[in-house]
Amino acid sequence: MEIDKRILKDSFFIKELALSQLRLYKDGDLDWFLLVPKRENVVDWTDLNESDQLSLTKEINFVCQLLKKYSKPDKINIGSLGNMVPQMHVHIIGRMKDDRAWPAAIWGTKSRKNYQPYMAEQWSRRLN
């Protein structure tokens, strides 16, 4: 399965899961993950069959539990917009009450710090 070039440019590979590729979005402030289902021609949730929808739900839960364990966010945001990148992908973001957009939506804001490669390496070590 080919991943959209914008997803590849904006994120770092972490791990292959049963259904999805887990990627870390290149944000210097937040633990922001993407799950990209490894299915061709999937744009919306409803393009996945029921079994894949259940698998994706379990993978979302897996990432949320990782965030709770390691980042201890105040809130976890989960979203799948796809307006800019139509390939199905799910954002899972650990939000903090002192982050750059709290309590508003994080979409369209710029991180205060630059993304550093050690961030993805740290998550990769935790999961591999």
Structural domain includes residue 115: no
In a domain, 117, yes or no: no
Rounded CA separation 12/121 (Å)? 9
Q: The domain spanning residue 63 has which CATH number? A: 3.30.428.10
Looking at residue 87, what is its pLDDT?
Answer: 97
CA distance 54 to 84: 25
Host domain of residue 68: 5-101
Residue 41: inside a domain, yes or no?
A: yes
* Position 51 in a domain: yes
Tens-place pLDDT, residues 7-47: 999 999 999 999 999 999 999 999 999 999 999 999 999 99
Lowest mean pLDDT among 27-31, 40-44, 74-78, 114-118: 114-118
pTM: 0.95
Q: What is the mean pLDDT of residues 64-77?
A: 98
> Does residue 71 fall inside a structural domain?
yes
Q: What integer pLDDT is reported at residue 128 of this predicted model? A: 80
Tally of structural domains, the chain: 1
